[in-house]
Amino acid sequence: MTMVRATVLALGLASASSFEIVSQTFKGNVTMKYSSPSVPSPTIATVEFGVDMVSVRAYMNEYIVIEMPQFNITSTTKQQMIFDASTKRATMYTDSHTESPQPIPQKPATCKFFEFANLPTLAAVAKCMQDVAALAQPEASEDGLQKFKMHMPVPAALGDVDQVMYTDKDFVMKKLVADVSLTGSPMTIHEEMTDMNSKAGVPDGSWFLVPEEWGSCEEQALPPMPATNNPVMKSFLHCMGLAASQATVVV
C-alpha cells in the first residue's frame, strides 16, 4: 500500500504544482474510511513526507495502528520509503506485528529496493514532473487554499482514484483527499491526509539516507508497468524512465 500511496502522492504533488513543485515537509494525520463495514479503519494513522526538488528526492514514513477490540487484536505497521533520483533507487522498509490472545508468528521486518536503470538526469526528471503538473485541473479556491483535482488509475491495476489537493499560495501541500475505487470489488476507500503546518524548504539531508537499522536491503525487480491511455500515468511513467523499458499490464 505504501507504494500505491507514494505514487498517488507524487502525482498529487506534481498536479498541485501546475505552476511550480516546491521542496517541502509534511507531517500530519491520516483518516481512512472503507465502505465495507467488515474492514476496520485505523485507530491511529500518521504520515510524514519530505520533498527535495533541488536534488530530486523524497521520503515518506507511515505509522498505522488498527484495533479490533471484539477480538482483542491490535495490528501495528510502520512503513518507510526513500527515493533518490541521483542513485536511481527507491528503498522501502516494512515492520508489522500483531498482538492477539492466540500467538501469531511474527514476520521479520523487511527492507527492499528497486532500481530505475533508465531514469533520466536529475534536471530531466524535475522538468518532466513539471510537465506532468500541466495536466492538473485547477478548481475554485476553498478556505483560502488553492485546489486541484485529478483522476488516474492506481498502479498494478488496483483500481482508480479521484484526488483533490489543497495547497497554500506557495504550492505547499496542506491537505490531500483521495477516493479509491478498487477493481473487481464494490468497496471504496476515502482517505484524507492533513497538515496545516507543513512548510516549504529542503528537508535535512539525513532524511534521505537509508538508516542502518533497516538492515540488509534486498533488490526487487520492478513490477510490470501498466499499459494505459491515462495521460497522467503515461507522463509519470515517462518521467521515471519506465514507459518503454518494462513489460506492461493493461489497466
Read off the amino acid at residue 17: S
Burial 182-203 (b: 16+ CB within 10 A, else e): beeeeeebebbbbbeebeeebb
* Cβ-based neighbours of 194, under 8 Å, separated by 6 or more: 28, 29, 174, 175
Using alpha carbons, list the distances in angstroms from residue 211 to 64, 81, 217: 20, 11, 11
Cell of 98: 500483531
Low-confidence stretches of the chain (pLDDT beneath 50): 3-4, 8, 14-17, 244-251
Q: How much is the pLDDT for 161?
A: 85
Helix (H, G, I), strand (E, B) or coil at 192: strand
Question: Cα separation of 248 and 251, whole Å?
Answer: 9
Indicate the DSSP class of residue 125. Answer: H
Considering only CA atoms, which of 156, 148, 155, 161 is closest in space to residue 189? 161
* Crossing angle between the packed helical segments 2-16 and 122-133, to the nearest 10 degrees: 70
Spans of all domains in the chain: 2-250
Read off the amino acid at residue 217: C
CB 51 within 8 A of CB 23: yes
Question: Cα separation of 150 and 164, whole Å?
Answer: 7
Q: How much is the pLDDT for 248?
A: 37
Q: How much is the pLDDT for 136?
A: 72
Q: How much is the pLDDT for 249?
A: 35
pTM of the model: 0.82
Q: How much is the pLDDT for 251?
A: 35
Question: Cα separation of 135 and 235, whole Å?
Answer: 9
Q: How much is the pLDDT for 242?
A: 80
